[in-house]
Amino acid sequence: MTESTGPATHQGSCHCGKVRFEAKVDLGNVIACNCSICSRSGYVLTFVGQDAFELKAGEDALTDYQFGEKNIHHLFCATCGVRAFGRGTTKDGTPMFAVNVRCLEGVDADSLNITRMDGKSL
């Protein structure tokens, strides 16, 4: 399961299950970042566009957190606190989703080839 086979559909959720989503992600392309929020949250992320992400439940269960330039919505479940995904837009206004691979069902994030990103220095 560590080999990349291209984008595949995975189910994701927060811990309590109020927030549920489906995302078509490429597990061969995941990052861990050392910036202030990623390191504290323990994120392992992969990025997808709007066509590859569907929130199935929990829009009203999400709390939004923003800081800095406020380009990104660092969402978390108001009940269990898990950060299953975030969303924002690229510079040209295209919606982007940052999926926390640790919240995908049946995925062992530690078995993946994780690219380390030095977001702290950006």
Applying CB under 5 A, which residues contact Zn ion? 14, 16, 18, 77, 79-80
The residue among 33 and 77 lying less far from Zn ion, judged by its C-beta, is 77
- Give me the torsion for CA of 93, 57, 75, 11, rounded to 10°: -90
Residue with tokens 């990103």: 117
Q: Which is nearer to Zn ion, 14 or 112 (CB)?
A: 14
- Cβ contact 120:35 at 8 Å: yes
Nearer to Zn ion, 27 or 77 (CB): 77
Query: Which is nearer to Zn ion, 17 or 88 (by Cβ)?
Result: 17
Least Cβ distance, residue 78 to Zn ion (angstroms): 8
102 — phi, psi (to 5°)? -65, -15
Alpha-helix residue ranges (DSSP H) falling in the chain = 36-41
Question: Which residue, among 4, 8, 2, 12, has the nearest Cα to 84 in the 3D structure?
Answer: 12
Q: Which of 86, 107, 110 is nearest to 98 (CA)?
A: 86
CB of 120 to Zn ion, least distance (A): 28
Report the nearest approach of Zn ion to the CB of residue 7 (Å): 26
Min dist CB 76 to Zn ion, Å, is 8
